[in-house]
Chains A and B, each alone.
Chain A
Amino acid sequence: MIELKGIWYSYDGEEVFKDLSLRILEGDRVVLLGPNGAGKTTLLKILNGLLMPQKGTYLYKGIEINKKSLKDKAINKWFRREVVMLFQTPDVMLFNPTVYDEIAFGLRQLGEYDEERIKEEVLYWAEKFNLSFLLKRSPFELSGGQKQKLCLACLLVLKPKVLLLDEPTANLDSKTTHWLIELLWSMEITTLIATNNLNLVSELGNKLLVLDENHSLIYEGDPKEFFDDKGNLVKASILPCINKRSIAL
């Protein structure tokens, strides 16, 4: 479904990814693990077509995603509808005057539904995310957890095929975190979740990608196998150095 072939990406003269390749199949629940600065957000933005690699190929369902192809209105609309991204800071995704308008934004952009149908969809997703009583409120007045839910509702209302989530549990309490995990598993959607929370990896997905601090993909496979070998955590700079000794002992 998603394939990166030999991606090279640099930012401000600093190389982030060198010859990075990976494949994500339809229905995969992928967790992207790595220390701060490993390039998790950059990788998600590349997969969302927001950052363009200097070299290499990005294929989504066999179609090459690059600046040129995204200039094509039909491809852009199709891709933006199918591959959506939840940003780490929900505030940056919200700009409409009311919660209702925020959820309706994507559907209105699509231009495929009349207002009556849009209302039905908005009410359905607001109900599902327990936001119905907030529909007339401004998104900026909501709590952190509510904003996160609203952002998800805005994305899922489009019925996307791939959901990219950047540290989705970073600002959530444990109750909302578990609500989110259950929600993600209840949906038939391909997910790629960036996190540095080791405790949640096995709950968030069934496939693990690990980036180390040099932005290299050092592991791709089953999460359990990765965690069985504690040396992997040190290799990925996920465990603090002090633990290297205890592992050696």
Chain B
Amino acid sequence: MRDKLLLLVYILSLIYLSYLSNISVLLISSFFLLLFLFFAPIKNKLGLLKHSLFSFFLFSFVISFSYLLLELSSGNREGIEYFLMINLRSFGMTLLTFLFLRITNLYKALDFSRTLTFLLIIATSNILTYKRLLKDFRDALESRNMGKTTRQTSFTFIKRLSLFFFDKSVYTSREVYQTMKSRGFCDD
């Protein structure tokens, strides 16, 4: 029950944050989230904060910052406020999600729906497999690399990784689906 309640709180907080546009309120929300992180009984708090900041930086800050530069170059100063609002909102939602994932057992939270549990199993299985494979790919490149990685090598490597993981995800999803089906999980 605890996990289902946390899921409900998470969804409501997410909706609340996505509607907020007042920068002061967004700042206060972020502060409370950080306060919660500080007092919550979880391990590696700094690691969680780092992950949140990195994800926020990569997916929100970098993109919105380039828009801000375009706005500023055309003499529009109003863009700064919008930039702050979007990024504070984005940071809050990211931190909230990482916190939720850390304190909740997702399997228990979603066990009211067979389909959602099924999707979660596929996603988790893929994530764990990919994590291990990605590590092996990087290790193999490091092992074979005898100098500075050239731009060409990096490009070829990233291209290969993308194709490999795309193929792998299609294949793994099919396999997991068949496995679950054979265990009587899917009714169709």
Contact = CB atoms under 8 A, between A and B. Distances in A.
Interface of A: 45, 48-50, 73, 76-77, 80-81, 84-85, 87, 89, 91-97, 105-106, 109-111, 140, 154-155
The SS class assigned to the A binding surface is helix
Contact of A80 (B139, B144, B157): B144
A76 B146 contact: yes
A69 B156 CA distance: 28
A93 B140 contact: yes
24 contacts: A48-B143, A49-B143, A50-B139, A76-B146, A80-B145, A80-B146, A81-B146, A84-B143, A84-B144, A85-B143, A87-B140, A92-B140, A93-B144, A95-B137, A95-B156, A95-B157, A96-B160, A97-B156, A105-B144, A109-B144, A111-B147, A140-B164, A154-B144, A155-B144
Contact of A87 (B136, B157, B160): B136
Contacts, number: 58
A45 B147 CA distance: 19
A180 B156 CA distance: 29
Chain A CB within 10 Å — which of B140, B141, B147, B160 has the most? B140
A92 B142 CA distance: 11
B147 A73 contact: yes
Interface of B: 133, 136-137, 139-147, 156-157, 159-161, 163-164
A50 B142 contact: yes
B156 A89 contact: no
A87 B164 CA distance: 16
Given A92-B133, A95-B156, A87 B146 contact: no
Contact of A92 (B136, B146, B156, B163): B136
Contacts of B147: 73, 76-77, 109, 111
Contacts of B146: 76-77, 80-81, 106, 109-110
Nearest to B164: A91
Contacts of A87: 136, 139-140, 143
Given A80-B143, A109-B144, A140-B164, 5 more contacts: A49-B143, A87-B136, A92-B136, A109-B146, A140-B160
Chain A CB within 10 Å — which of B136, B147, B163 has the most? B136
A243 B118 CA distance: 38
A95 B145 contact: no
Nearest to A88: B136
Interchain residue pairs A-B with the least CB separation, the first 9? A95-B160, A92-B136, A109-B146, A93-B140, A80-B146, A92-B140, A77-B146, A92-B137, A50-B139
Contacts of A155: 144
Nearest to A83: B143
Contacts of B161: 95
A96 B139 contact: no
Given A50-B139, A91-B164, A92-B140, A109 B145 contact: yes
B42 to A, nearest CB: 15
A87 B143 CA distance: 10
Contacts of A111: 147
B60 to A, nearest CB: 29
Chain A CB within 10 Å — which of B141, B142, B144 has the most? B144
Contacts of A96: 156, 160
Contacts of B142: 50
B141 A95 contact: yes
